[in-house]
Amino acid sequence: MLKIRIIPCLDVDAGRVVKGINFLSLRDAGDPVEQAKAYSDEGADEITFLDITATHQRRRPMIDVISKTAEKCFVPLTVGGGVKNIMDIKEFLLAGADKVSINSAAIKNPSLINESSKKFGNQCIVVAIDAKKKSKNWNVFINGGRVDTGIDAISWAKNIEKRGAGEILLTSMDRDGTKNGFDLELTSTISSAVNIPVIASGGVGCLKDFFDGIKLGGASAVLAASVFHFKELTIKQVKKYLKSKNINVRIDNLDK
């Protein structure tokens, strides 16, 4: 059976990890390459880098991070943040990323989804949706959550699928950073509206939140940053817990 993926996310600025980390075993806690390696050795099914660098000129370090990580981590790598066009996508893929996540650029120019998934294969195009509750439904926000596009998240998700995206990275802006758990209503609504995998993100605070996101939210994968960064939970712990709850996770490397 296909396993549910557990994906740690690293926020990177100019080649350095932004959030404070407690990986004592690492020589350099700010080095994203070493952290990615530690995560993958711990059982991460995929690694996601979010490049929070604002300007294109400062992107070079991210390219280096990707290519160095690809030399050391033998699990799939996803990169997102500030991707504007086909060239940006190509640059990340050539550096060694397996998937590239696009967000604001997909809203501003939806045909970028069609073009890039046709050119590179739909499996490597992830579209990120930052959604926030508006009365009954959810609206899509862009520019790091600063701009309300007024677009309905459900219809946007369907549109994304039609255009050829391979996956949706769904972040609830209402829950992000709250540790109150995923927005399960949002997650289940979107994942039943589309036939491509949905990665749930935003709000994980405890073990049960992972379980709920999968079981009640219907997510194919769960992504978390701070609970892993601050070592509140380890990937191993999450996987063992999920396994005990009969969720299908990859655990074959944990018996070492």
Report, as residue numbers or ranges, the catalytic residues: 11, 130
φ, ψ of residue 196 in degrees (nearest 5): -110, 155
Q: Which of 8, 11, 40, 92 binds other proteins (CB under 8 A)?
A: 40
Indicate the pairing of strand 147-152 with strand 5-13: unpaired
The least distance separating other proteins from the CB of residue 145, rounded to whole angstroms, comes to: 27
Residues 125-164, one symbol each (x = binds other proteins by CB under 8 A, - = not), give: ----------------------------------------
Task: Find, among 204, 198, 213, the residue nearest to 233 by Cα.
Answer: 204
Contact status: 110 vs other proteins (CB under 8 A): no
CB 236 within 8 A of CB 21: no
Taking the CA of residue 66 as centre, how many other CA atoms within 13 Å lie in the half-sphere pointing to its CB? 26
**Size of residue set near other proteins by CB under 8 A:** 34
Distance between CA 102 and CA 92 in Å, rounded? Answer: 12
Indicate the pairing of strand 198-201 with strand 47-51: unpaired
Q: Which of 197, 216, 226, 241 binds other proteins (CB under 8 A)?
A: 197
The least distance separating other proteins from the CB of residue 250, rounded to whole angstroms, comes to: 4
The least distance separating other proteins from the CB of residue 135, rounded to whole angstroms, comes to: 30
Q: Which of 78, 101, 189, 220 binds other proteins (CB under 8 A)?
A: 220
Q: Which of 88, 167, 176, 209 binds other proteins (CB under 8 A)?
A: 167
When the beta carbons of 118 and 134 are compared against other proteins, the nearer one is: 118
Distance between CA 12 and CA 10 in Å, rounded? Answer: 6
When the beta carbons of 105 and 126 are compared against other proteins, the nearer one is: 126
Contact status: 215 vs other proteins (CB under 8 A): no
Distance between CA 73 and CA 45 in Å, rounded? Answer: 11
CB 155 within 8 A of CB 198: no
When the beta carbons of 76 and 181 are compared against other proteins, the nearer one is: 76
148: which residues sit within 8 A by CB, 6+ positions away?
132, 139, 141
Per DSSP, the three-state class of 193 is helix
Q: Which of 24, 25, 55, 74 binds other proteins (CB under 8 A)?
A: 74
CB 53 within 8 A of CB 13: yes
The least distance separating other proteins from the CB of residue 70, rounded to whole angstroms, comes to: 6
Contact status: 18 vs other proteins (CB under 8 A): no
Q: Where are the alpha helices (DSSP H) in 127-183?
A: 153-163
For other proteins, the binding residues (CB under 8 A) are 1-3, 5, 40, 45, 67, 70-72, 74-76, 93-94, 96, 98, 121-123, 166-167, 195-197, 220-221, 248, 250-253, 255-256
